[in-house]
Amino acid sequence: MVKGKKRGLGKGLEALIPDMISFNEIEQDVTTEKIEQISIHKIYPNPNQPRKSFNEESIQELANSIKIHGIIQPLIVSKTAKGYMIIAGERRLRASRLIDLKEVPCIVKNYSEKQLLEVSLIENLQRQDLNVIEEALAYQYLIQQYKVTQEELSEALGKSRSYLANILRLLRLDQRVIDFIIEGKLSGGHGRAILSIEPLDRQYLLAEKIISEGLSVRQVEELVKNLNNAIKENHKKTKNENKDIHVAAIEESLRSIFGTKVNIIKGNKKGKIEIEYYNDEDLDRIIGLLQ
């Protein structure tokens, strides 16, 4: 296998994953391999590639360019029982279909299923317009496939550990919210802001509110903070309402003695008494009463 530096993937990735196909190999294929004209109807996208969304406006611009100048860089495909699966060049294929091309120039490669996904990962990770969910899915694949830690991968990619962790956390969102991010209706920042909301149905309802009202990330962070505080207060209130009548009576008696809020927490065999104070003088007053 030809070795080469992986552009945009960090200098350490080749050492971490030595058998991964490099993007340089794809580039070398373009200049050294035989180019074949293949019917556009025999070519289909790789269903497992990380990139799921395409900007229709940029595809139309590419189609206009192809109409004038032709396809300058051939597609790279792999022969399968179904026809030819795209390894690199799905945007060119989509653009070619818009202008009703019958055939497109291709280089045919024989890659295994594992190699096909690797090449798609490499081709897409070095792009600047990859959305955060596609990026997260690519990182998740590398971690699971090669049994590496987030820390090892972050070093190999030349990215911070927190950056990697924050992107991967987005995959824990409700799938409908993930789809909103892929479609560009929400940003990764919006997604991170609502991660703490449970259950997932509430994430989806909040996501719809964000979209309909055009809320900024900062506004969503404040909204989530208020929602979480309200949930805690309701939980506390419910807990107090369910408290044993005898315990509640003791708490009320102690409140009248100390002149402040007293909370009794009972466990199976032991518990604790919490006495609130509001400043140093209040603390001295309560200590005096205890003495």
Catalytic residues: 90
The amino acid sitting at 75 is L
d(CA 167, CA 163) in angstroms, rounded, equals 6
Closest by alpha carbon to 161, among 150, 172, 149?
Answer: 150
- Please give the order of strands across the beta sheet that includes 75-80: 36-39, 103-109, 75-80, 83-88, 43-44
Residues 6+ apart with CB under 8 A from 86: 43, 44, 45, 46, 49, 75, 76, 77, 93
Residues in the chain: 291
Specify whether the CB–CB gap between 20 and 14 falls below 8 A: yes
Provide the token pair at 195.
Answer: 């991660």
Q: Output DSSP code: residue 279.
A: S
* Cβ–Cβ < 8 Å for 273, 263: yes
Which residues make beta-bridge pairs with 83?
80
Backbone angles phi, psi at 117, to 5 degrees: -70, -40
Token readout for 124 is: 């897409």
Residue type, 56: E
Query: Looking at beta carbons, which pairs linking 67-73 to residues 24 or more positions away fall under 8 Å?
Result: 67/99, 71/96, 71/104, 71/105, 73/30
